[in-house]
Amino acid sequence: MASHVIHVEVLGKDGPALQRFYGDVFGWKLNTDNPGGYGMFDGGGEGVGGGIGASNDGGPGHVTFYVHADDAAATLRRVEELGGRVLMPLTEIAPGTTIALFADPEGHIVGLM
């Protein structure tokens, strides 16, 4: 099976303001019922879901897309073979859900889930 985009993330200095902005612009209903107040939205069966919140380091933030990989460890090895860098190794964020982050050769950040 080919890999596919499964999640998009928008992070910035003021998470709640970004949540209001994107919610108002696109009519998204954001679920922030979690300890960090991360706003999750789903694609409604027609698109990719995602999340909006504050950047963990207080920096200006970024937009990241996450790709499903059947073998994330092998994918990260391939990233390094092709000149990318692993920024965050595979990390379990919820039972049965792992993520990793890598930078492409130009420094763009991409997530694996």
pTM score, whole prediction? 0.78
- 52 and 74 inside one domain: no
For residue 85, the enclosing domain spans: 69-113
3-state SS, one letter per residue, for 12-76: ECCHHHHHHHHHHHHCCCCECCCCCCCEEECCCCCCCEEEEEECCCCCCCEEEEEEECCCHHHHH
- 96 and 51 inside one domain: no
- 78 and 103 inside one domain: yes
What total number of domains does the chain contain? 2
2 pLDDT higher than 80: no
| Mean pLDDT score across all residues of the chain | 90
- 14 and 49 inside one domain: yes
Cα–Cα dist 62/55, whole Å: 8
- 75 and 44 inside one domain: no
Q: Any idea what the CATH number is for the domain that residue 106 is in?
A: 3.10.180.10
- 15 and 45 inside one domain: yes
CB 101 within 8 A of CB 109: yes
The predicted structure's pLDDT at residue 1: 64
